[in-house]
Amino acid sequence: MPEATRGEDVTQRQQPTLQGITFRRPTEADYLSMVRVIDDWWGGRDMQWLLPRLWLQHFSSTSWLAESEDGRLAGFLVGFLSQDQADTAYCRLIATNPNLRGQGVARELYEHFFADARAADRSRVMAITWPGNRASIAFHRALGFEVDAGPGTQNLYGTPAYPGYDFDREDRAVLMKRLG
């Protein structure tokens, strides 16, 4: 995907970039289709709580949705530009249809988000994941993310992570990618 340039209107970008997959901005109307699949796409874990409706009401201009030719949901990324860290864009959530994994859908969702971040003069993208999610860690590393191994991290499930990072009980690996 071509990189966004300063001033380019990336909010309306909609183009097929993978065979039969179209990328567009999600709207609040997409909410139910997204929350109906998220638990299944995350291996049956209860994950709906990660995606309250407010994300599509307030952050759709920095989020992306992938659809197949027949209009079925192929994946989505919910992200935002940090209000407190002017150099940072943050991926809140990324999910892909398990039947389409390994075909580049998630990578392309991230590429669209990276373009948004560059267009907003952000120099890094942050994300978190559960340190035991080896597929997520490997995927993010393949995209150029580094796992934070700084003070306070412990080796959890073979990955540097912060114990009790969320809710004082949920361990998280913090991921960061520098944008060039």
Res. 67: pLDDT tops 80: yes
CA distance 156 to 85: 27
Q: For position 180, what pLDDT does the model report?
A: 87
Res. 4: pLDDT tops 50: no
Residue 35 phi, psi dihedral angles, 5° rounding = -70, -25
Helices and strands (H and E) in the chain: how many: 4, 10
What is the average per-residue pLDDT within 171-178? 98
pLDDT, tens digit (0-9, with 9 covering 90-100), for 108-134: 999 999 999 999 999 999 999 999 999
Distances (CA, A) of 124 to 32, 62, 76, 90: 31, 15, 20, 8
Tell me what the pLDDT averaged over the chain comes to: 91
What is the average per-residue pLDDT within 77-92? 98
Largest CA distance in the chain: 48
Q: What is the DSSP letter of 3?
A: P
pLDDT, tens digit (0-9, with 9 covering 90-100), for 40-59: 999 888 989 999 999 999 99
Q: Report the share of the chain in percent with pLDDT over 70.
A: 91
| Segment (H or E) for 111 | helix 105-119
Q: For position 6, what pLDDT does the model report?
A: 41
What is the average per-residue pLDDT within 52-76? 96
Q: For position 165, what pLDDT does the model report?
A: 94
